[in-house]
Amino acid sequence: MNQRELNTILVALRILQQHCILRPELEAIATNDGADARMDDEEIDALCERLNTPPTVARVLVTVSGGVADVLHGDEVVSAIVDYDDIKLGDGPVLLSRDWLPFFQTVLSKAQRDEFKGCVEFAPRGVGEGQYGME
């Protein structure tokens, strides 16, 4: 979302706070056709605050010495290292837990995913899940 889009969403939320009565078609959107209650002022304030708060930036430091990689990061960060040199030497693909699958599907571009073809495989369902990588 760019700044212009964010500005529009924030204005729409503030307008929603000011108007108790909405046109029926807008009320239907605000309540998911009556399935949900409309957000109250406190909920809208909290949402605006969340939208205005910059995301926390995850920082990862990877050091490589003598072919050995070391990863330093905080508790909120999960990381995995794939050494292309090992794969090119015929060691086979790196096996990752299925926890990494959403990352590969949503974060990486198609070109980046194509680079990993043949280099990364995901463990069978249930194996290594919740471990964020396999040892």
pLDDT (tens digit per residue) in 39-80: 999 999 999 998 988 776 666 666 666 555 666 656 666 666
Task: Please provide the average confidence, as pLDDT, over all residues in the chain.
Answer: 74
Indicate the pTM of the whole model. 0.43
Distance CA 60, CA 104 (A): 18
Q: Where are the beta strands (DSSP E) in the chain?
A: 60-65, 68-73, 94-96, 120-122
Distance CA 50, CA 24 (A): 28
pLDDT in tens, 89-127: 455 666 676 777 777 777 777 887 777 776 777 777 665
Secondary-structure breakdown of the chain: helix, strand, coil percentages, each rounded to the nearest 5? 45, 15, 45
